Structure 1
Amino acid sequence: MSVSIPDDWLWIVILGFIVSFLLAFGIGANDVANSFGTSVGSKVLTLFKACVLGTIFEILGAVLIGYKVSDTIRKGIVDVSPYNNSEKLLLMGNLSALTGSCIWLFIATLLKLPVSATHSIVGATVGFSLVAQGSRGVGWFKLGLIFLSWFVSPVMSGIISILLFLFIRKFVLSKEKPLENGLKLLPLFYAVTILINAISIFLDGSELLHFDKIPLYGSFIISIGLAVITAILVRIFVVPWMRAKIEEKLLKCQEEGEDVPDAKYVHGNGHVDLEATSEKENVMQNASLPQADEGVSKADTALAGDSNTALLGTVVIVSEDKKIAELDGFGSGSSGDSSSSDSKDETTRATIKDHPVTNKLFSFLQILTAVFGSFAHGGNDVSNAIGPLVALWVISTEQSVAQKAATPIWILLYGGVGISVGLWVLGRRVIQTMGEDLSKITPSSGFCIELGAAITVLLASNIGIPISTTHCKVGSIVFVGRVRSNDNVDWSLFRNIIFAWVGTLPVAGCLSALMMFLLKEYAL
């Protein structure tokens, strides 16, 4: 089918495609931490593996669920009816929105600030509209709903993550035999994850893929069926394989004469009670003179898996009276010297870690939820990059502001590729803030953080409200971190992130407004 674009509009469309790809690049560079920050930070995934998985599932999410939010971005924030017979002005406005958002996102990425791409594009959209049409061009009701979501989303995500963590702590971490309990619940964890993901895809799904033709009951039947099949497969294949693998490594460590902490004496807060274990003499030879093992336990490293070689560090004696030993869960950032008085926060973080057995168990689940989060991120955030671009394309090809055509699938792919390229090139710059600095994250808490945030984002995507994945993930990290310990959260860093959130909308809006002013003066 031939496409006809007026000659005096063509340069706007071409620039729009270029700037949109740069914006998608910036989103990938900044928001990659939302999907894989916790997994990379806890050493469950390497950065390379995270990028490979991210590339696949960002694009899948963009195509399968991204169209609905893109409709909100291009038609829900600004009322397009005042632009009738002024199509070129609206084209310039969308180009200004892309430019303003792109500039701010690159600045934030260079400063390693995890800001909201959604805030950025919404602020930029409002900015150009105020210059072009004044306040009457802004959809204030829809904007109010989005404002509300910015406050509700981190709280909602945090609450969901807390509930998940409390469930896991009660029924797995605090049990006498956490490995057996964890393996019994493993099919449930996988099934719930698949169920939510499938419902989000099929329920009011993409018109481009004809998912909208599936009736409501059909969406639930398919989703429940996939969840049940997943649970059965996990129970038949994954659980026995994982049990055998963990027991094999435990046996190997015992044959080599290494001490293996007894999983049944691990408390829910991550403490290993040495009073109850027969190996306490090997860890604490003199109760009056607490010592720290200078080496790294081979048993711990083996249990952590090949990708977790730096996950488990030295044994730290925290309290002589209680005879509590802590397994350091962050080899790159914690010290085994309990006499160090750097800060109360660091001491507290050093006491928060998973037992190596449950560490291994939840590593697989954290990878699954990271993939889940990447899929949700692609569906939600690709709209921020291609929403104005879709408007540019549809308006220029239809030569009407009505924008009746559906979002083209190839533009969704274009945005997904841009996000993936940004992930590979600059993704590591912001990942440390989300994965390491804000709060101490272990595989069990990381699973809860990522699943809770992903549930929130996918629900919002299907409702059609472009909430911030950054807000959801930060909310989950802070809420779960606070449940574990008040000192487990870097409150000063959290305050700085809040300041960055508050500044994103006005800064992007001002940049977009400036761009719109220049275009009106010199190009209209």
Structure 2
Amino acid sequence: MADHSRDANHLETLDRDLKRLSTLEQATAYVAKPVAGKGIAAVFMIGAALLAALMFGGTGSMMTIVIAAVFGAYMALNIGANDVANNMGPAVGANALSMGGAIVIAAVFESAGALIAGGDVVSTIAKGIVAPTAMESVDEFIWAMMAALLSSALWVNLATWIGAPVSTTHSVVGGVVGAGIAAAGFGAVEWGQMGAIAASWVISPMLGGLIAAGFLWFIKARIVYQEDKIAAARKWVPVLVGIMAGAFAAYLAMKGLKHLVKITLPMALIIGAVLGVVTWIVMIPVIKRQSEGLENRNKSLKVLFGIPLIVSAALLSFAHGANDVANAVGPLAAIVDAAQSGDFTSAFAIPFWVMVIGAMGISFGLFLFGPKLIRLVGSEITKLNPMRAYCVALSAAITVIVASWLGLPVSSTHIAVGAVFGVGFFREWDFERRLKAARQAVPERPSLPREERQRRKLVRRSHFMTIAAAWVITVPAAAVLSAVVFWGIRAMVG
């Protein structure tokens, strides 16, 4: 009996020790994870510096290019941490993809987009936002590009820390504007182009939100609220998948592959229409087979949107890698070209090694720091399921096509997040509409108190205000920061 009691005491002591050890391991992992992430990021930036030194060792411009490569690597890490959430957040929030699966798909397709279809040529300073002739010397131009690169990366880093998905392209634009004003005055800035960019702050999210809400209304009216949901799904899901295939074919032809093959908007629309019709025909028997044996309820419908949603996330990542990466590493390419040739007024190519830094940096940034904003976009703004997330992804592709047709500069970040808000606000409107109809059908039914109605809002207002504020101040904040950095560089070097 005494032996049994001693064994029991030993086991209790062992349990306590194991529990303490487990708690200690969890605490250590919690503390070590951010430290390890920052350490890996630092190693990547050092690697970028070594690559630049290897490429330009022995040249007089080596140190300038090495420092610029570090800034470019830092910017690429921040793109991965912030911008990629827009493509992967809806699929993760809808449980169509796990966080790990999303990170792998995004890393592969972002890198492929950057390396296969990435920008061959961009204009000298952020697409003509600042007149290059306003710069007095090549050194001043290089300082301005360094200031733009560092300030935009710092701003995106801060936005990620506070949990706000912002446009990295707009951050770079703000950085270029600030450095340009600091170097050459307000007259150096093309204010007409800046006005169009400012207009896109409003147009991008509103257009994305309206298109996403419109598709969600269609799905609810034609499928969800039908008596026989499965029969309705067999009819309309192939059409919707065909529209998605067509939209993404046009989107990729026009945006993602424009650096490989010159494709006009009408040609892209024809390609999209043909592929959309083919996909619609192919999907009819596929959806019919998938829907066999499904129960006549909303949960069953989610199965039919899962694969299209995963494919759309991959395609959005490819197009993002092809476009936004080139814009973000553009200042680095400009510095390399100016430092080598001494010419800063003509167009320049983005070297392959610069695109490698951009592609790898995005992958590392996404893996190390991306999950925070992926969760925010995917589940913390409003609750997403595969049907709602499908509307967000489709809206992103269609909005870019419409904006290109109208000649408007838009941000993929603003479109995707605007689409998430559009879906959420539509759900609120639809809920209120159905609640009102139910009260009219049963007049004696008590109405909910105002506090309870506020509690049941389907969009987090705090996130809405934080993100909207971050969007509005992105360009001016990056511009002010860039001007300060430029003056600091000029004081140290000049």
- The TM-score, its normalising length taken from structure 2, stands at 0.76
Between 427-436 and 67-76, report the one with greater CA deviation: 67-76
**Residue aligning to 1:243:** 291
**Residue aligning to 1:226:** 275
| TM-superposed deviation, 1:157 | 0.8
**Residue aligning to 2:243:** 192
CA distance in 2, matches of 1:502, 1:451: 25
Amino acid at match of 2:114: A
Does the alignment pair 1:402 with 2:345?
yes
**Residue aligning to 1:14:** 66
Describe the shift of the 1:465–1:19 C-alpha distance in structure 2 as closer, same or farther (beyond 3 A): farther
Does the alignment pair 1:358 with 2:301?
yes
CA distance in 2, matches of 1:206, 1:19: 27
Amino acid at match of 1:493: H
CA-based RMSD? 2.8
Matches within 5 A, 1:28-427: 28-63=80-115, 66-67=118-119, 70-71=122-123, 74-83=126-135, 86-203=137-254, 208-209=259-260, 211-212=261-262, 219-236=268-285, 238-244=286-292, 247=293, 263=296, 355-408=298-351, 411-427=354-370
Identity across the alignment (%): 33
- The answer on whether the counterparts of 1:158 and 1:480 sit within 8 Å (CA) in structure 2 is yes
Describe the shift of the 1:72–1:61 C-alpha distance in structure 2 as closer, same or farther (beyond 3 A): farther
Between 361-370 and 61-70, report the one with greater CA deviation: 61-70
Describe the shift of the 1:204–1:242 C-alpha distance in structure 2 as closer, same or farther (beyond 3 A): closer
CA distance in 2, matches of 1:69, 1:26: 23
| TM-superposed deviation, 1:356 | 1.1
Describe the shift of the 1:180–1:196 C-alpha distance in structure 2 as closer, same or farther (beyond 3 A): same
**Structure 1 residues not aligned, in runs of 5+:** 251-261, 267-354
Instruction: Tell me which of the two structures has the higher relative contact order, counting C-alpha pairs closer than 8 angstroms and 6 or more residues apart.
Output: 1
- The answer on whether the counterparts of 1:380 and 1:461 sit within 8 Å (CA) in structure 2 is no
Paired residue total: 413
CA distance in 2, matches of 1:374, 1:202: 14
Matches within 5 A, 1:488-499: 488-499=458-469
- The TM-score, its normalising length taken from structure 1, stands at 0.72
Describe the shift of the 1:385–1:217 C-alpha distance in structure 2 as closer, same or farther (beyond 3 A): closer
Amino acid at match of 2:427: R
| TM-superposed deviation, 1:423 | 0.9
Describe the shift of the 1:482–1:463 C-alpha distance in structure 2 as closer, same or farther (beyond 3 A): closer
CA distance in 2, matches of 1:499, 1:202: 33
| TM-superposed deviation, 1:217 | 6.4
Does the alignment pair 1:454 with 2:397?
yes
Amino acid at match of 2:291: R
Amino acid at match of 1:242: Q
- The Cα offsets for residues 8-49 of structure 1, whole Å up to 9 and x where unpaired, read as 533222221221121111111112321111221221110111
Describe the shift of the 1:218–1:103 C-alpha distance in structure 2 as closer, same or farther (beyond 3 A): closer
CA distance in 1, matches of 2:276, 2:112: 19
> What secondary structure is seen at the aligned counterpart in 1 of 2:84?
helix
- The Cα offsets for residues 39-71 of structure 1, whole Å up to 9 and x where unpaired, read as 212211101110111112213333566528954
CA distance in 2, matches of 1:379, 1:186: 29
**Structure 2 residues not aligned, in runs of 5+:** 1-54, 430-456
CA distance in 1, matches of 2:394, 2:280: 17
| TM-superposed deviation, 1:497 | 1.7
Describe the shift of the 1:178–1:379 C-alpha distance in structure 2 as closer, same or farther (beyond 3 A): farther
